[in-house]
Amino acid sequence: MIAYLGNAYLGIACPVSAQQQFVKQQQTRQIVPWTVVNGSPIDGGHCIVAVGYNAQGVCVTWGEIVVVTWHSSSNTAIEAWAILTREIVEHGADTFASTQPKLHADLDALR
């Protein structure tokens, strides 16, 4: 989704460890990836906006760039939402010039 649409909303079950890792990042001003910490309790649900990705994981914003490792995102993700911008709706193409009918066909194929 991110490659085609530029971002995605990810609904996660947010573990306490992710919040601790975020605080550590704020304190050190260094990227502290969200990693899986076995036994860390879930504090609740949270929506994060994925704005990019790299080999390490999904890059999200929570007021700043945070890297959620692939292992962590696959363990905490509950849902993902595609954001269709006005440009996609009005011009009928995403960043890779796919058409809306193709997008709908691809989504239907997932069912």
Tens-digit pLDDT profile for residues 17-69: 999 999 999 999 999 999 999 999 999 999 989 989 999 999 887 778 899 99
Closest residue by Cα to residue 10 from 54, 58, 43 = 58
Q: Provide the residue ranges of all domains of the chain, joining segments of one domain with +.
A: 2-83
As a whole number of angstroms, the distance between CA 45 and CA 69 comes to 18
Name the more confident of 88 and 37: 37
Phi, psi (degrees; rounded to nearest 5) at 66: -130, 140
Alpha carbon of residue 96 to chain centroid: 19
Predicted TM-score (pTM) of the model is 0.78
Place of tokens 């010039």: 97
pLDDT band at 92 (very low <50, low <70, confident <90, very high): low
